[in-house]
A and B are shown apart, each in its own frame.
Chain A
Amino acid sequence: MQASPSQSIVVNVGQSLERLEDYALLTGRGQFADDLGVKPGTLHAAIVRSPHAHARLIGIDASAALALEGVRAVLTRDDVMQWAAPFAVGVKQPMEHWCLAVDKVRYVGEPVAVVIAEDRYVAEDGADLVSVEYEPLPAVVDIRDTVEAGAPVLHEKVGSNVVSDRSFRYGDPEAAFALAPRRVSLTIEYPRNSCTPIECNVVVAEYLGGDDGYDVLSNFMGPFSLHTVMALALKVAGAKLRHRTPRDSGGSFGVKQSALPYVVLMCLASRKAGAPVKWVEDRLEHLTAATSATARLTTIEAAVHADGKIEALRYHQFDECGGYLRAPEPATFYRMHGCLTGPYAIPNLQVRNRVVLTNKTPSGLVRGFGGPQVYFALERLVQRISVELGIDHLEVIRRNLVPANAFPYRAVAGGLLDSGNYQAALSKAQSEGDLQELYRRRDEARKAGKLYGIGFAAIVEPSISNMGYITTVMTPEARAKAGPKNGAIASATVAIDPLGSVSVIVASAPAGQGHRTVLAQVVSDVFGLRPQDITVNVEFDTQKDAWSIAAGNYSSRFAGAVAGTAHLAAQKLKAKLCAVAASQLKCQPDDIAFAQGKVFSTQAPGPTLPFNRLTAAFHWSPGTFDEGIAPGLRETVFWTPDVLTAPDERDRINTSAAYGFVFDICAVEVDRSTARVRIDKYITTHDAGRLLNPALADGQIRGGFAQGVGAALFEEFHYDEDGNFQSGTFADYLVPTTCEIPTPVIVHLETPSPFTPLGAKGVGEGNNMSTPVAIANAVADALSVRDIKLPLTAPRVHALLTTLTTSEPIHA
């Protein structure tokens, strides 16, 4: 007897399905930007860059380069000022950022000219021949120096290196601090670092002439709100800047946002040369001049009760954004603004945010964006509260966590923490990670005179950014004038062709995460098909695809927003199929179900319809349908989370649609001899709502963890005191390899989000936020020190060790 389809409905969502992407990638069929063919006659660009951190640009002489055989054109500031405009930015100040230096250079590596030639060799030869005259100026390198009287000013018309200064208060922080039995404070600095993709930026641009604008293929990842910045800079309508992304991207981690100025630059280069132009960023260019995580100097203070309960928090923060404030900066501050109190129920908050400029590479998106900076300060402070009050660290965390029955919980700065059970996550981490064993190891090691420490970090991991959060940088009055901004629109299109095959199109610009796999899982479930029956196209074309400003691959928005929207689009299409199926099967549309390629009624056993026969009818015989059923099988859905409203008049802002929870336990031993930090055990606990594909979620966790270890122990962009960049190769900028990364124990909890279509939240950035500070806390515990600077390289830890009184045991 044949089983009825309803008895064997397969659910693909939640399974660790193997990646549909991997066959192509493992057999050399990847479609990366640099591999794709270009039009015959495409030229190649090399960029002349500033060797100075700060200098007046006196003159550019390209004649020797132009005389070189094979050089076709040299783009300079005169062209750029004629054809383009400065980049728009969210802070109103009299400062201009063009795609080429115009009056001054403000960081080492700033583009000054573009040599366009028949191949990259000749272009590089030509770049060597461009003569640029500079008048060097003193540079500002250290955050602290930016506000010093007499410091060199980068943008003279601003008159200061502070380009934004906003203060916020929530609750009654002054009263809380005045009444607090204890105050604990810390001044702490998060360094410049990055998450370096294997593939650097690639742009192929063509000026189309006439009124046709520009056609660009690049591995820019979004947010596509920046497409408007590009189009405005090129002085064309949005639709006249066609931007396409290839199917595959060799990693992004936020960093491919930095393709933004180069898209504009290469469009102009193509216009100058009269031919398509291709530019592939090399590693030296990438490390020097692409982007960096924003460095932050924070003074953080807590008003604390004797039991460790935090009554108020105060942040005084400086974000160091480099030579220019480049969109979406100063978003590093404001992405986290609504959840500055982390996973804690803290009723009073005071914040002062100052954005300062230095003679360094412009900062921007780097995986974790804003999170590592906030939590490095906040979670170090919580550890200090534990030390200064003499209360167990875990107990301080536990006493301050948002109660499990309080969700959705409105944090004081406006973040609406959607769901969770932080206490349960702590318990699970302790038992599955065997914390007792780590305490035992610590006791034993310390008895033997070793330096062993245990650190914790508890964080909320925001996902699906509110596109309006950046307007928190404006005063309420300025916002009222400009009009409200909010939302996080995702879009997805699902279509079924005449043979009944299903295709999905999204504007998610993935960089290796496995979006195609997850979308196939999500959509196959809706139609009772197999994942391999679903064709997912993730190439993104701004001229043809459904998209809005939030499109792109950032803020961990895929699982919650994009996959959820694909689900909604598939449901919409399914509703149409159900209406026709119901009339054919003589039942109600609500009774129709799909499984194993069949369509049937759940109420009456009887005939089943093959899926492809039902769908074919839409193409071959629309005339037979009842009235009200439109022909065609292609549905697009735009979705935005209702909870993402604009900042209110008291500056409260729900910065993200969903907030996962991460709780990490880290045990380290510091070798007295070499000062190397060895991670003995690492436990990372995640509640990212409903997991769509647990194996992919674990992959995200492992990747973020590796980068978190990098930030904690190895990676930093170094500049000397004159602003010369010193980390231009992978022998200088140390990314950990598999040899340096231990395997973390991963613990999961699933508390679905009530605000996303599938209950999923982001999981891609948590460890970038939690791991650096969990390791820092472990080292602080091992050495009993307060001031921790990242990365904790062996030489730096050695310097810490030498400051300790060697005659006394560290753990008295």
Chain B
Amino acid sequence: MIKSSLLTRPLPLAPLAGKGWGEGRITAHDSSMKPAPFAYLRAASAEEALSALNEFGGDSRILAGGQSLMPMLAMRIVQPSCLIDISRTEDLNYIRVADDHLTIGAAATQATVEWRPTLAQEVPLLKIAFPWISHFQIRNRGTLCGSMAHADPSAELPLCLLALGGELLLRSHRAQRIVPAKEFFQGMLQTALESSELLVEVHFPLRQPGQRYGFTEFAQRHGDFAIVAVAAVVTDNAIRLAVGGVEDRPHAINWPNLNGSALSDALDEFSKSLDARDDPHASAEYRRHLVRELGRRAISEAC
């Protein structure tokens, strides 16, 4: 295959497998899309999705909003033997406040979260981060959990989850476990998900008294993947700053509440400690520069 930067990201390529349900073509005569053959299962419930995962494991892929997966399929970057579509599972399509979290199910779209009337009170960081996420058309289809599972290092939602110290609920046919964001994101498009596991829901901690939130990013064009994105959680005596787009996964740091030159020094040191990517879009040096500039902005503008 021809290489481009989107294509050169290390992806677990599933071998073509002959097994599976039926013929596995969405529409055999539509010549405008051309993924490799796959079986397709529209799961009616989480249970059905989990049993399919159990059967197909690593050869299968969960399809939710499809905003990243579909282009990768069309370019044959991923060639799963089976697509398990959870977008219409009613029991995974929920957003609710439980304990001290906003819990978002795997089938809930970004738009339904974004336009939740109480979001600004519940998770203010998400409210201010959403406008930076791609374009509204994509948020209409894309899911929060899909963005987590895809684990693009520039993505805003994983960054917010890490900044807030959120968690993810992973479930397999047999067991379930809760994984903190810090452990879930393991590298470029790499997560803690096992092949038999489904990311069932994500837990965003609710607003804490005294916390202020800042978010900003820099992309060449409106809606692009961020070259650098930063999220800040600030209290009177602490700062937690998370950066995305710089390393192969989002990265967070905690400080006491610094300002002035102490903050500049801390940002400078932090930016230098990062294993910043160098690619055709931006140099590592420029990414470090943005960490300093945007980090300061997110912290000072946190509200």
Contact = CB atoms under 8 A, between A and B. Distances in A.
Contact of A726 (B5, B75, B285, B297): B5
Given A739-B222, A739-B223, A795-B282, A119 B2 contact: no
A284 B71 CA distance: 11
Contacts of A590: none
B224 interface: yes
A284 B75 contact: yes
Interface stretch (B25-33, B41-49, B184-192, B242-250): B25-33
Contact of A121 (B5, B28, B222, B227): B28
Interface in A37-68: 44, 46, 49, 51
A724 B4 CA distance: 8
10 contacts: A120-B31, A121-B25, A673-B297, A674-B290, A714-B221, A726-B5, A727-B280, A731-B225, A734-B221, A795-B281
Leading 7 A-B pairs by shortest Cβ distance: A728-B4, A120-B31, A739-B222, A795-B286, A795-B282, A718-B280, A124-B34
Contacts of B31: 44, 119-121, 278, 280
Contacts of A51: 1-3
A725 B4 contact: yes
Given A49-B2, A674-B218, A734-B221, A128 B227 contact: no
A3 B127 CA distance: 67
Interface residues of B, number: 40
B4 A732 contact: yes
B286 A728 contact: no
Interface string B24-62: 010011011011110000000000000000000000000
Interface string A644-670: 000000000000000000000000000
B7 interface: yes
Contacts of B34: 46, 120-121, 124, 282
* B interface secondary structure, majority: loop
B286 A726 contact: no
B7 A119 contact: no
Given A119-B31, A739-B222, A793-B220, A128 B4 contact: no
A714 B281 CA distance: 10
Contact of A794 (B5, B218, B280, B297): B218
A732 B290 CA distance: 20
A737 B6 CA distance: 20
A229 to B, nearest CB: 26
Nearest to A740: B221
Given A726-B4, A728-B2, A795-B286, 10 more contacts: A51-B2, A119-B31, A674-B294, A725-B3, A726-B280, A732-B4, A734-B221, A739-B221, A794-B282, A795-B282
A125 B37 contact: yes
Contacts of A90: none
Contact of A732 (B6, B35, B221): B6
A288 interface: yes
Contact of B221 (A124, A736, A802): A736
Contacts of B29: 119
Contacts of A793: 220
B283 interface: yes
Interface string A714-725: 100010000011
A124 B2 contact: no
A619 interface: no
A109 interface: yes
Interface of A: 34, 44, 46, 49, 51, 108-109, 119-121, 124-125, 128, 278, 280, 282, 284, 287-288, 673-676, 714, 718, 724-729, 731-732, 734, 736-737, 739-740, 793-795, 798-799, 802
Contacts of B218: 674, 676, 794
A740 B258 CA distance: 35
A798 B288 CA distance: 12
B70 to A, nearest CB: 13
A734 B224 contact: yes
A47 to B, nearest CB: 11
Nearest to A288: B2
B76 interface: yes
B182 interface: no
Given A119-B28, A674-B290, A726 B3 contact: yes
Contacts of B36: 124-125, 128
Interface in B74-94: 74-76
Contacts of A124: 34, 36, 76
Contacts of B221: 714, 734, 736-737, 739-740
B289 interface: yes
